[in-house]
Amino acid sequence: METKKLTIALASDHAGYLLKDALIKHFSQNNVSIIDCGTNSADSCDYPQFAELGCKKVLSGEADLTILCCGTGIGMSIAANKLRGIRAACCSDVFSAKYTRLHNNANVLCLGARVVGEGLACELADIFVNTGFEGGKHKRRIDMISDLEK
């Protein structure tokens, strides 16, 4: 039986585009399909539009997960969490990257290019995409969060 190849959407603003490109290179070397939602330059742009583009890929099922990059990761996280069905977390440490998937079933990881270096960002992204949701009591809590969106 063939395993489905993981697909990750990545998007960034101008502050995060170099980190996004580093993550694309990292994942391309690790048998992961990539959807690049832009931006692709240091020209000033508005992160909410790129957060929406990346999040819509996971909401539509085109991507399994999304990773968003901006200067701090915070703006992308705030924008992403405005979309119903998105559970975005801004992480800059291994523990948070692991448990946001394990307990919160996050489907979007937000990273700050001015906060984490390329090596740590790749490590956090690997942990995020390779950690599954634990379920159990956490499923009930995720359902409660979904109810808040209604």
Tell me the per-residue pLDDT of 80-108, one tens digit each, with 9 for 90 and over: 999 999 999 999 999 999 999 999 999 99
Q: How far apart are CA 107 and CA 88, in angstroms?
A: 6
**Residue 119 structure tokens:** 């090596």
pLDDT by residue (tens digit) across 18-38? Answer: 999 999 999 999 889 999 999
| pLDDT at site 2 | 58
Question: Which is nearest to 30 in space by CA: 122, 97, 101?
Answer: 122
| pLDDT at site 62 | 98
Q: How far apart are CA 128 and CA 96, in angstroms?
A: 9
Q: Averaged over 111-137, what is the pLDDT?
A: 97
Q: In sequence order, what are the residues at sequence separation of 6 or more whose Cβ sits closer than 8 angstroms to the Cβ of residue 76?
A: 11, 12, 13, 16, 47, 50, 51, 68, 69, 70, 88, 90, 110
| pLDDT at site 116 | 98
| pLDDT at site 75 | 98
Catalytic positions: 70, 103
| pLDDT at site 131 | 97
Domains, the chain, ordered by start: 7-148 (3.40.1400.10)
Q: Averaged over 58-84, what is the pLDDT?
A: 98
Q: Is the pLDDT of residue 145 over 80?
A: yes
Per-residue b or e along 79-114, where b marks 16 or more CB atoms closer than 10 Å to that residue's CB: bbbebeebbbbbbbeeebbbbbbbbbbbbbbbbbbe
pTM, two decimals, is: 0.96
